[in-house]
Amino acid sequence: MNNNSSRTDEQETLIQYEYIDKLKDIISDKSNRLGRKLTYNVTTFGCQMNARDSEKLRGILDKVGYVRTESEDADFVIYNTCTVRENANNKVYGRLGYLHSLKKKNPNMIIALCGCMMQEEVVISKIKESYSFVDLIFGTHNIFKFPELLYNAIQSEDMIIDIWKDTTRIVEKLPTSRKYAFKSGVNIMFGCNNFCSYCIVPYVRGRERSRKPDEIIDEIKELVSDGVKEVMLLGQNVNSYGKGLEEDIDFAKLLRRVNDIEGLERIRFMTSHPKDLSDELIEAMADCKKVCQHLHLPLQSGSSEILGKMNRHYSKEDYLALVDKIRDKMPDIALTTDIIVGFPGETEEDFLETMDVVKKVEFDSAFTFIYSKRTGTPAAAMDNQVPEDVIKDRFDRLLAEVQSIGRSKAETYTGSIQSVLVENVNSQDDSLISGRMSNNSIVHFPGDESLIGSIVDVKLTECKGFYYIGELDG
């Protein structure tokens, strides 16, 4: 439970590389003995932040000599877990049973768990009690120790558990293995200080810590020289980037610096909190030509009273005024959002306020969530939890509204020419390739594999609701 504070962040990087070297020998010996390569599988639950963390896990596993497989019938299996809603936890427990059956057949198998769910004490107790076949558990704050922990797990017969309560550390320059050659997430900050009353993230991801701007810029330059065209700047609340750093920097300034990187073509970021979205940021977004025409701006609720209880620090009117300000500077920007239905005490009137904001803003799309009670958060102790059938009814009405608005918004782009970053060959029809527009919508169009990773102009010939069919322009 200590956080190895005797090591500096720089020493830590070197120490972990030493473990990587030791692991290389061990893995090579093992695979020589078995007469085959050892395989690994990383399964990710949850958000983009977890997806990026999984790339760090894969970077290390690739380096030490494991071979990646999509099957969970592998020699090393790790679940990078999420705990933002209860069903995320349930999925993990469900799948652990299946892993146990695989482990019985493969005595070499090592099973590891990491990520947000592991930061909860109740989860650790449950795993110790009911899933004793798990070999290694670590959390969100010490993921950089993965080489050392993997080394220990291989050497030990016992379950290894290393969970830190919080950290101030940022360990740089460990290997990563990207999912896409042409785009990448880039962490700019970790943790969250907002304590929205329903949300478990601040408890499992710790306090806000920003990476130094030079480290971020260097990482992006390196990615660009390795073929990356698009970056997604990642943080739980990117709008408060820079607080606590010595440099005179905030998110707007960082965005301008990233925009100046030669060879980079597109910039996205996630997630923005409405309360911290500054005028300077709106200016920077409008000025920076590489910043995509898309902003994800979680609303959570349209009722000022519920927003107060959620500890969001803005009202319905503040949110609507912010949207006006953004659209005033960037009329073509696509707006997407997150909405929670059934927060404790939500009345029909409160819900109708949410519907009202949805109709007024006309979001291009919205992720809608049923409120999930997270033990330890202030909302879990609130009275007036909304009955399930009422929530379900509101959820269905909200979803229908969101989808109908999304469809008609999408339709307005039909016939236009859009720049598209080609991502893959279509899985159902290999004469088509698929890519993303600046506003994050997907378009499928005739073309071949050689275009993957390039940005091309595509005419949108047909809108299929939430995606398009198109053709190369020119």
For residue 458, CA distances in Å to 192, 333, 420, 427 come to: 39, 18, 7, 19
Contact between 198 and ligand 5AD per CB under 6 A? yes
Which residues on adjacent β-strands are paired with residue 230? 183, 266
Contact between 374 and ligand 5AD per CB under 6 A? yes
Which residues on adjacent β-strands are paired with residue 470? 460
Instruction: Give min distance, CB of 202 to ligand SF4, in A.
Output: 5
Q: Is 451 left (phi over 0), alpha (psi -120 to 50) or beta?
A: alpha
Instruction: Give min distance, CB of 196 to ligand SF4, in A.
Output: 3
Q: Which is nearer to ligand 5AD, 153 or 297 (CB)?
A: 297
Nearest to 164 by CA among 119, 134, 123, 207: 119
Contact between 194 and ligand SF4 per CB under 6 A? yes
Instruction: Give min distance, CB of 87 to ligand 5AD, in A.
Output: 10
Q: Is 443 helix (H, G, I), strand (E, B) or coil?
A: strand
Contact between 237 and ligand SF4 per CB under 6 A? yes
Q: Which is nearer to ligand SF4, 205 or 290 (CB)?
A: 205
Rounded-to-integer distance, Cα 459 and Cα 474, Å = 9
Q: Please check whether residue 117 is in contact with residue 154, taking contact to mean a CB–CB distance below 8 angstroms.
A: no
Rounded-to-integer distance, Cα 6 and Cα 399, Å = 51
Q: Please check whether residue 420 is in contact with residue 447, taking contact to mean a CB–CB distance below 8 angstroms.
A: no
Contact between 85 and ligand 5AD per CB under 6 A? yes
Q: Which is nearer to ligand SF4, 92 or 192 (CB)?
A: 192
Q: Which is nearer to ligand 5AD, 116 or 340 (CB)?
A: 340
Contact between 273 and ligand SF4 per CB under 6 A? yes
Residue from 142, 236, 272, 301 in contact with ligand SF4 (CB under 6 A): 236
Instruction: Give min distance, CB of 158 to ligand 5AD, in A.
Output: 34
What are phi and psi for residue 39, nearest 5 degrees? -110, 155
Q: Which is nearer to ligand 5AD, 119 or 300 (CB)?
A: 300
Contact between 413 and ligand 5AD per CB under 6 A? no
Residue from 338, 356, 401, 423 in contact with ligand 5AD (CB under 6 A): 338
Rounded-to-integer distance, Cα 147 and Cα 172, Å = 14
Interacting residues toward ligand SF4 by CB under 6 A: 192, 194-196, 199, 201-202, 236-237, 273
